[in-house]
Chains A and B, each alone.
Chain A
Amino acid sequence: MENFTPVSATLGGALIGLAASLLLLTQGRVAGISGILAGAITPRSGEVGWRLTFIGGLLAGGLVLMLVWPASITASPVSLPLVALAGLLVGFGTRLGSGCTSGHGVCGLTRMSPRSGVAVCTFMAAGMLLASLVHGGA
């Protein structure tokens, strides 16, 4: 556990909670990234504009992170074919399950949505099971 970073994790989490609150206060929207992304790439959903603006903010934040604290963004330790498989699963799964770590995890748990509770327990359990099997002991 030499990489245990509870303070920065809590601080970062607080910023995420603040960002979700800002989006709710100004737009009345839930900050679920998979939903925002899917809506932005599906033109028939009609409300592409605000989603693209939010994604622009995400990218700008990434740029500032790269400039100020480049070590905060690192590559995945697994091979690119595995990364591609992971991306397909995450893309399809978050649409089938109506959300990801942000929409279900942060926003859904906050308002005690039973669907989000089930979703979070499911993806945490599935994630921990597979990570332990695939990545295993150090």
Chain B
Amino acid sequence: MSQQLTSKASIFLAGFIFAIGLGVSGMTSPAKVIAFLNLAGDWDPSLAFVMGGAIVVHGVLFRLITRRSAPLFARRFYIPTRRDLTPRLVIGSTMFGFGWAVGGYCPGPSVVSVVSLTPSALVFVAAMITGMYGFGLVETQLQHNRGMTTDSTGSPSH
């Protein structure tokens, strides 16, 4: 296999494993997500273990991988370096938390669920993409209105 093909295959495999992990963990069950967030109901703390498992594995491997001077198929690592705490970060995360709580979907599981053709997954992903476009429009307008200094321009996002 050529290096380019190996590189592409590795990206595809990463997405594939990510999706299987979401499915195995229970993240693609919106009712389970809601049962995790809803402290007033029959609380199911399972999904706290998803982040735990992910951080333990990625925590060890991240440190090993970033000892390299560069990744296998790219010139450099693209790791966010910003440390500033901004109102945007808090307001945006609040909006995300609210949306997550209402529907039981966060971005990854919603995309994985699209293949099931479940109407809720299709509607969610369409609305989410609309929201992302909407943000792009607002962002462009804000930049236009007050010059160039804004929060999320020019920095790598997650």
Query: Could you tell me the distance in whole angstroms from the C-beta of B154 to the nearest C-beta in chain A?
Result: 12
Q: Is the CB of A94 within 8 A of B129?
A: no
Question: In residues 23-58 of chain B, which contact A (Cβ within 8 Å)?
Answer: 23-32, 34-35, 37-58
Task: Please give, as numbers and ranges, the residues of chain B lying within 8 Å of A62 by CB-CB distance.
Answer: 19, 23, 28, 111-116
Q: How many A-B residue pairs have CB under 8 A?
A: 536
- Interface size class for chain A? 35 or more
Chain B interface size band reads 35 or more
A14 touches B54 (CB 8 A): yes
**B53, B112, B158, most chain A CB atoms within 10 A:** B158
Nearest residue, chain A, Cβ from B71:
A28
Chain B residues positioned under 8 Å from A84 (CB to CB): 123-124, 126-127
B11 within 8 Å of A by Cβ?
Answer: yes
* Assembly CA distance A41 to B14 (angstroms): 20
Q: Which of A66-99 contact B (CB under 8 A)?
A: 66, 69, 72-78, 80, 82-99
Main secondary structure of the interface of B (DSSP, over half): helix
CA distance A125 to B28 in the complex (A): 21
Q: Judging by beta carbons under 8 Å apart, are A103 and B26 in contact?
A: no
> Given contacts A30-B79, A87-B105, is CB(A130)–CB(B44) below 8 Å?
no
CB contact between B107 and one of A42, A88, A92, A100 (< 8 Å): that residue: A100
B12: chain A residues at CB < 8 Å are 53-54, 56-57, 60
B14 touches A54 (CB 8 A): yes
B130 at the interface (CB under 8 A from A): yes
Evaluate contact between B78 and A30: CB separation under 8 angstroms: yes
What distance in Å separates the Cβ of A63 from its nearest Cβ neighbour in chain B? 5
Q: Is B93 an interface position by the 8 A CB rule?
A: yes
Task: Name 13 interchain pairs, CB-CB below 8 A, sorted by A.
Answer: A13-B25, A15-B25, A24-B61, A31-B14, A33-B111, A34-B107, A54-B15, A57-B19, A75-B118, A86-B124, A95-B157, A97-B89, A135-B41
